[in-house]
Amino acid sequence: MTDQTQPRSAADRSYVAFVEVAWQRHIRLAMLLTGDRWRAEELLQDSLVKVYERWRRLSRLDDPHAYLRRALVNNHTSGWRRRRRESLVADVPDRAAPAGDVGPDAVVLRRALTSLPAKQRAVVVLRHYEDLTEREVARLLGCTVGTVKSQNARALDKLRHFLDEPSHSTSR
């Protein structure tokens, strides 16, 4: 009898190794896209299932992380298109902060990001956190480069106003 917790094939073992690296690498992206730790974990898990379904082909790619990043963005976009409106989640004290994301400045930044509409948040996260080009963001989101530029400009303007408000500052 085999232990069901152990991967059975070389492909399964390589997928498990990929997930161990991918989880830490992509959970923060998922959190920034969703604005919520629990929805981020669900988004990442759903995306990893899609990666697993195609793992034999993807494991031969130079960068399966790029496929996972695209799956995260596509799954998130599909979710907010389905709902048409995303509810904003206020900071809830019993929710754990992600590793390395501590302190009042991180809380203020997270609140600022969650104040943005979903598409603007996706553009900002992909451009400034993932450091993708405008063209790469446009391809991931299925829109034009001009849309990326305008959404980014609007988002950054909203973030500046949000962060300039005295009620959101931690040092005033």
- Going from N- to C-terminal start, the domains of the chain cover 10-168
Is pLDDT above 90 for 79? no
Residue 108: its H or E element: helix 104-114
Whether the per-residue pLDDT at 172 is higher than 80: the answer is no
Tell me what percent of the chain is helix, strand and coil, each rounded to the nearest 5: 70, 0, 30
Superfamily of domain 10-168: PhyR, sigma-like (SL) domain (1.20.140.160)
Residue range 18-52, pLDDT digits in tens = 999 999 889 999 998 888 889 999 999 999 999 99
Angle at which helices 37-53 and 64-83 pack, to 10 degrees?
A: 120
pTM: predicted TM-score of the whole model, two decimal places: 0.56
